[in-house]
Amino acid sequence: MEEFDIIIVGAGTAGMTAGIYATRANKKTLILEGKNYGGQIINTPDIENFPALNHISGIEYATNLYNQVKELGVTYKREEVQNITKDRLVTTNKNQYQAKAIIIATGTQNRKLGLEGEDTLVGRGISYCATCDGRFYKEKNVAVIGGGNTAIEDAIYLSDLAAKVYLIHRREGFRADQKAIEILKSKKNVEFILNNKPHKLIAENKLTGLEIINNENEITKIDISGLFIAIGQIPNTEIFKGFVDLNESGYIKSEDGVHTNIEKIYVAGDVREKELRQLITAASDGAIAANTAISEIQ
């Protein structure tokens, strides 16, 4: 069984930043990621709020970060972590590893609408990534669900591709950057549908429409070919239930933002309980978690 100084679970911004700091401190480091590297940032078409990074896509950013990790010599394996013990034994779908310290940086995943047929229509009209799938809906009618930054950014991106973009939000106001909202409002092919929420998916092998319902329980049908869901995230902590302490929403608790309730098991990034989940805070979390782990396993 291979042994490492530090094992990092997750290859988003927090995880890969932790890998950089740990390796530069001459610690034998392993990053484990069951899916693609990058995390949620790969869904962002244009990063504008990270210092010194101006107009770079999330995919470009994640690729640059991954290449930096590999160039430093961090061991990176695409394996799904299935279990972690208090003795820091990590079991994946392929191997077992022993660590002196573990950093959990598993991030979040997209929240679903919960409507009948949603899962079967993914790739046939339903998407959670506008930058990944938007090009398939050129000159077609699409809808975006949500009222946060991701929904606004998705609608802006799609407005340059689609014939018509409906932005559907269950409230009157938005929880998004005001500048981005103003940009979206200037788009002539965007229609705002507020105080409404999705009610029923309409499909025949692929999505053809959506029924929405307002606060007065009035139902309206819109004809669309694509539906982009951007209603927030849920933490990837399913395997940690009963292991580390979680809050009511499933995020990992940490009194100081680094330590979990288990010795030498740390947390970083969007998966931890905190107020602000941004690219820059994920990078900060990764650096702090790695530095803390380094100092405590000397």
Annotation marks residue 133 as catalytic: yes
Give residues with Cβ within 8 angstroms of 285, minimum separation 6: 14, 17, 105, 257, 258, 267, 268, 269, 272
User: Within the chain, which residues score under 70 in pLDDT?
Assistant: none
Question: Which residue out of 5, 87, 119, 132 is catalytically annotated?
Answer: 132
Annotation marks residue 223 as catalytic: no
Domains of the chain: 2-110+233-296 (3.50.50.60), 126-229 (3.50.50.60)
Question: Which residue out of 5, 129, 270, 285 is catalytically annotated?
Answer: 129
Query: What is the predicted pLDDT for the residue at 55?
Result: 83
What is the pTM (predicted TM-score) of this model? 0.81
| DSSP symbol at 72 | H
The closest alpha carbon to 197, from 176, 167, 162, 224, belongs to: 167
Query: What is the predicted pLDDT for the residue at 221?
Result: 98
The closest alpha carbon to 90, from 102, 108, 105, belongs to: 102
Question: Which residue out of 5, 46, 87, 133 is catalytically annotated?
Answer: 133
Query: What is the predicted pLDDT for the residue at 288?
Result: 98
Alpha-carbon distance values, 2 to 20, 22, 75, 77 (Å)? 20, 17, 12, 13
Query: What is the predicted pLDDT for the residue at 230?
Result: 96
Annotation marks residue 119 as catalytic: no
